[in-house]
Structure 1
Amino acid sequence: MSTLTRDTWVLIADSEKALFIRNETDAENPNFVVVREEEQDNPKDVAQSANKPGRMQDSGVQQMSAVEDTDWHELAKERFADDLAGILFKQAEKHKFERIVLCAAPQVLGALRDKLHKEVSWRVVAEVDKNLTNHPLDQIEANLRRELESV
């Protein structure tokens, strides 16, 4: 059975943007339609940090060491995978899709895979570790068709 059958969903994601796409036709000539877009407002860490890094007393006399501050930018990226997993679970519960292909940057794909509910994970028919979020739909179609043919 071909992977990109009619009504198969495709999630295209990186750590800050996601497209939920449905294939309207078949694998030989896919026609993707965007069902939903998600984008995370995630400014650089410097813009999100309220304070300068903390300091703590060292073992020496009047010596202080810096304490590493939380990287809010990275933390937000990790939370985005949680958000995407939640959206997919809600859509699966509503029977919006029966099959889905996950296409994401490798780090995001790994984080997402760990967060997926079993109601979603059994519907995953393929995974592609590529970042295609900034490509137009026709290039996403061509790239995915090529990637999935080689599997």
Structure 2
Amino acid sequence: MTAKTHRPTHLVLVADGSKALFLRNRSLSNDYRLEVEAVLENDNPPTREQGTDQPGRAISASGANGSPNAQSGMEQTDWHRLGKERFAASIAERLDAGTKAGTLASLVIVASPLVLGTLRKAISKETAHLVRAEIAKDLTGMTVAEIEKALAA
């Protein structure tokens, strides 16, 4: 019995803060013939549904101009944005695992600007070396055929 060997994947990642499509490029040339390898979804409701606490207040012993007990408000935590960033970090972990296992040959990242920025920071140097292109667009609502056309343009 012969062991089946898997060629490393030429992957196109299409992601935003709530969905990630891992698409294998089956084409051996410079065009795209994509096939869905995996889909990840992130249940990330709006901040108003995630956190109800009011922003905190900071009290200092001496305020501006030496006045005692100055107070300042803290910014509202954007739980929705944090959820998107955590989701992007989990995508980066999955990509790094593929790099480490030797199953990722090249990578094209098509992602919303927030997710793309988070991925850039979160992926390992080894995975970053496999990135062939980065496109700051959200194509997650498109079909695979529409994504192929958008990438070819």
- The TM-score with structure 1 as length reference comes to 0.80
Identity %: 37
Q: How many pairs are equivalent? A: 141
Question: 2:17: which partner in 1?
Answer: 15
Question: 1:40: which partner in 2?
Answer: 42
Mapped to 1, the partners of 2:75 and 2:102 lie a distance apart of 44
User: Per-residue deviation at 1:28?
Assistant: 5.8
- Residues 21 and 32 in structure 1, CA contact (< 8 A), matched pair in contact too: yes
Once the two structures are superposed, residues 55-109 of structure 1 have per-residue CA deviations (whole angstroms, 9 ceiling, x without a partner) of: 4558689997543332111111111221111010011112222111111112321
User: Per-residue deviation at 1:41?
Assistant: 0.9
Question: 1:3: which partner in 2?
Answer: none
1:120 aligns with 2:127: yes
1:80 aligns with 2:82: no
Question: 2:56: which partner in 1?
Answer: 54
SS of the residue 2:103 aligns to: coil
Distance change (3 Å), C-alpha of 1:88 and 1:65: same
Give the aligned CA root-mean-square deviation in angstroms. Answer: 2.4
Question: 1:143: which partner in 2?
Answer: 150
- Residues 7 and 25 in structure 1, CA contact (< 8 A), matched pair in contact too: no
Distance change (3 Å), C-alpha of 1:121 and 1:65: closer
Query: Could you say which structure has the larger radius of gyration?
Result: 2
SS of the residue 2:24 aligns to: strand
- The TM-score with structure 2 as length reference comes to 0.79
**Structure with more of its chain in strand, by fraction:** 2
User: Per-residue deviation at 1:31?
Assistant: 2.0
User: Per-residue deviation at 1:36?
Assistant: 0.9
SS of the residue 2:104 aligns to: coil
Pick aligned residue for 2:136 from 118, 124, 129: 129
Mapped to 2, the partners of 1:28 and 1:117 lie a distance apart of 25
